[in-house]
Chain A
Amino acid sequence: MATHPGEHHHPTPLQYVKIAILLAVLTIIEVALFYVNEAADMGGWDAPLLIILALFKFVIVVGWYMHLRFEDSTLSKFFTAGFILALILYAIVLLAFGVIALGS
């Protein structure tokens, strides 16, 4: 089988399992935050915390399970460009329609 750049750095099966446990724990924290906010209003802190946790999970899956951190940087550039383009485009749409607001 052809080797890929940096393939020898890929995690071991045990490391993959540890990453999965981390992802599961992060998901549990997310759901717990949802219920904490339901029971006692967190004063708007739930949204940034949940988004940070989701972003963390996102980066872990892309970096380790999709092996992007071990791949050629060209792939990272293509992938990140699409993500950032979509993020900017739809942030502008949501700002324009008043769904999200800058500042208070």
Chain B
Amino acid sequence: MEAAAAMDHHDQHESTGIDHRKLGMWVFLSSEFLFFGALITNYLLYQGQPGFARPYPAEIYDIPFTSFSSFALLMSSLTMVLAHNALARHDQHATRTWLLATAMLGSVFLGGQVFEFTEFVTVGGMKLTTNPAASAFYLLTGFHGFHVLLGVLMLLTLYGISRRQGELSEASGLNLELVGLYWHFVDIIWIVIFTVVYLLAGVPAGVG
């Protein structure tokens, strides 16, 4: 049994010397640049096209509110890396605390996004089909929000495993590292979205 486990552990490293699950995660994240790049480009193509019903997304952005939710997501990267650090120090209690804090900050971001969408539709009057820029905006930020939701579920799963088993095993430790990589990636994608879509947003000439 131990020999089989050792062989399994050895097989995870392949010829690169890198755990292939970790390599797979980095390659997956790299491919996600193409996915989110397509959605951001789609938004940039439509945001400046005149002749459609208003409002355009840039006319109704609430920058202070979005800055706050961006800050919450940014700080969740800190709590995530502190969870990883705590596990490396074999401090199971701190690991659980930071995991829960990360999930909570992610939930704050998601709550903010739900509130933002609700305000845009009910107060701003910008529905999914109001204009192509609105559709592109909801598609981009909605897919990012979906990624955050998946991250929160993975974090809570790790937290649940840790609570049930009393500690995170070595295998779960790698899972925490992989979830952490995913979580930080979601954060860096938001760094780009916040700058390009919110702060550099434009409206067509003659609008606004």
Contact = CB atoms under 8 A, between A and B. Distances in A.
A binds B: yes
Interface of A: 1-2, 7, 10, 12-13, 16-17, 19-20, 23-24, 27, 30-31, 33-35, 46-47, 50-51, 53-54, 57-58, 61-62, 65-66, 72, 74-75, 78-79, 81-83, 85-87, 89-90, 93-94, 97, 99
Given A19-B78, A50-B200, 6 more contacts: A16-B78, A57-B188, A61-B77, A61-B187, A82-B33, A90-B38
> Chain A interface mostly helix, strand, loop or mixed?
helix
B85 A16 contact: yes
A59 B170 CA distance: 29
B78 A17 contact: yes
Contacts of B70: 27
Contact of A86 (B34, B71, B81, B180): B34
Given A66-B184, A83-B33, A87-B37, A16 B18 contact: no
Contacts of B26: 75, 78-79
B195 interface: yes
B108 to A, nearest CB: 15
B16 A82 contact: no
Task: Name the residue in A13, A65, A87 with the highest tally of chain B Cβ atoms < 10 Å from its Cβ.
Answer: A65
A27 B71 contact: yes
A90 B41 contact: yes
Interface in B2-48: 16-18, 22-23, 26-27, 29-34, 37-38, 40-41, 44-45, 48
Nearest to B185: A66
B199 interface: yes
B191 interface: yes
B179 to A, nearest CB: 12
B60 interface: no
Contacts of A30: 194-195, 199
16 contacts: A13-B85, A20-B78, A31-B199, A33-B199, A46-B200, A47-B200, A54-B196, A57-B188, A74-B23, A75-B18, A78-B23, A79-B29, A82-B27, A82-B29, A93-B45, A99-B48
A51 B53 CA distance: 30
Contacts of A27: 67, 70-71, 74
B136 interface: no
B188 A90 contact: no
B188 A61 contact: yes
Contact of B82 (A16, A34, A82): A16
B185 A31 contact: no
